[in-house]
Structure 1
């Protein structure tokens, strides 16, 4: 965001040989807090916020032609959702569901929503009963490990942060619990290697210095 807190659409690329930042065409949708994923010669930008309002835009930037394309929007509007990229898809998970413009008496509420954008098909897949997460959560860590999407920790309907961790088998379109985090927390950072998923810091009863890693050894 800018100094006036307005969302920005600026895009810059760093040229190591010149040690300088160069401008690229701006994003079609100004936003902050978005998730970005590099796939082949494209960068996908998913979600984000404009002020207090969640953004549903999905856009891709082609590194070869240096141009943006608008893609189908995220089907539902949610804040503090988890976004992750798998081998075939982009996911928007969980979050805090915002009430619609006509639901005057509705309050924001945690959801277990899973929305999957299949990159080759260029469409959001129709959800199934088993494709929803087992727990409603927001402000959690989301990653991909061993071919499975992982959702860990966050905030739900409990009075304290969650420790639960679940994994998504995309072939079966089903979520399964895995070992919970030793330290329940939300607002954590994520670091991934090929074999491990590190959950770093966050908020438990107060600021947390915990660093814990999940390793899935079983095959999928």
Structure 2
């Protein structure tokens, strides 16, 4: 497959957020990007709710969420945006579920989760929201898999996940939900499990070859990429930023043997990642340097190596991100303090 050259990528500086923030959740609906909640520079959860219009290049404030929160799980169901759990004002997990109707501009309370939870990973299939894992008030990771039935406004418990965890990454492929990584208390785990939405059963897949916190997972047509991250310190081991790249072949059902030449150019964790026109992208984050990173890289599948792209205009880590219309948006995050920057790495048709 022909992939764009490094010359086809450029950064655009977009209208900034109304205020700097971190841990806000982004979702796309009807060609617009919605930014939901987050933490302000005092670490206090916010109830802000804004929409970005690419045509006008501006953010507009919408009716705030009834409940201030950060790190929420978000799903779109047609013209509705569903906001699930997250961290509330007293820094504890929430069980509150709220739904915003884009047409009438109003919020509505929905049936709560069975338990307060943060770090839930959600996927949507056929107007059903599937919610995996999470962490409760007792700080224990959950093994729940539940789905939300929109017509009945109820949460239905499904078969429990083999490995309890929070902050996992989920992808939907056909009738299959892939759940990768996540954490138990402070530590990253490398569990990889798959839920079949038709048989409603779990299958354990080969574990991610190396455990890393603050890494990123990116799906492509045939593969799942596990990128970078931080190897956590243990008793006799220093923490270490990684440039490791692990690739899972979905068809073959196994992790490929990766050459060091296909590792990232720069060690990094807590960065932005996405997939644009056949190329996996990483940008920004934290590395061995004393400051946040600005460097951006794109993987060339033909050459099996990473190539440098133009740097991020505002170097940051802990950004929220989303891919919309051949652009990877990096929103908010941390520079020296909290950032209100919104920048898009776009690929043009050469």
Same-fold call, TM cutoff 0.5 = yes
TM superposition score normalised by structure 2: 0.60
Deviations 1:12-56 (CA, angstroms, capped at 9, x unpaired) = 212222232221111110001111111111010000111122110
Task: Measure how far apart 1:171 and its partner are.
Answer: 2.9
Which whole-Å CA distance do the structure 2 matches of 1:28 and 1:117 have between them?
20
Which whole-Å CA distance do the structure 2 matches of 1:128 and 1:100 have between them?
27
Higher relative contact order (CA 8 A, sep 6+): 2
Task: State the match for 1:19 in structure 2.
Answer: 153
Which whole-Å CA distance do the structure 1 matches of 2:204 and 2:300 have between them?
28
Is contact 1:15–1:21 with CA below 8 Å preserved after alignment? Answer: yes
Task: State the match for 1:166 in structure 2.
Answer: 297
The structure whose Rg is larger is 2
Secondary structure of 1:215's partner?
Answer: strand
Q: What is the Cα-based RMSD across aligned positions, in Å?
A: 1.4
Which whole-Å CA distance do the structure 2 matches of 1:130 and 1:189 have between them?
29
Is contact 1:152–1:181 with CA below 8 Å preserved after alignment? Answer: yes
Task: State the match for 1:151 in structure 2.
Answer: 282
Q: How does 1:115-126 map to 2 (within 5 A)?
A: 115-126=246-257
Bigger mean CA deviation after superposition, 156-165 or 19-28: 19-28
Q: How does 1:34-183 map to 2 (within 5 A)?
A: 34-99=168-233, 104=236, 106-183=237-314
Which whole-Å CA distance do the structure 2 matches of 1:75 and 1:89 have between them?
15
Secondary structure of 1:79's partner?
Answer: coil
Which whole-Å CA distance do the structure 1 matches of 2:220 and 2:265 have between them?
19
Long gaps (5+) in structure 2: 1-134
Task: State the match for 1:30 in structure 2.
Answer: 164
Long gaps (5+) in structure 1: none
Task: Measure how far apart 1:129 and its partner are.
Answer: 2.6
Task: State the match for 1:213 in structure 2.
Answer: 344
Which whole-Å CA distance do the structure 2 matches of 1:87 and 1:100 have between them?
36
Task: Measure how far apart 1:173 and its partner are.
Answer: 1.3
Task: State the match for 2:44 in structure 1.
Answer: none
Which whole-Å CA distance do the structure 1 matches of 2:233 and 2:256 have between them?
23
After the TM superposition, which parts of structure 1 deviate over 6 Å for at least 4 consecutive aligned residues? Answer: none
Is contact 1:168–1:174 with CA below 8 Å preserved after alignment? Answer: yes
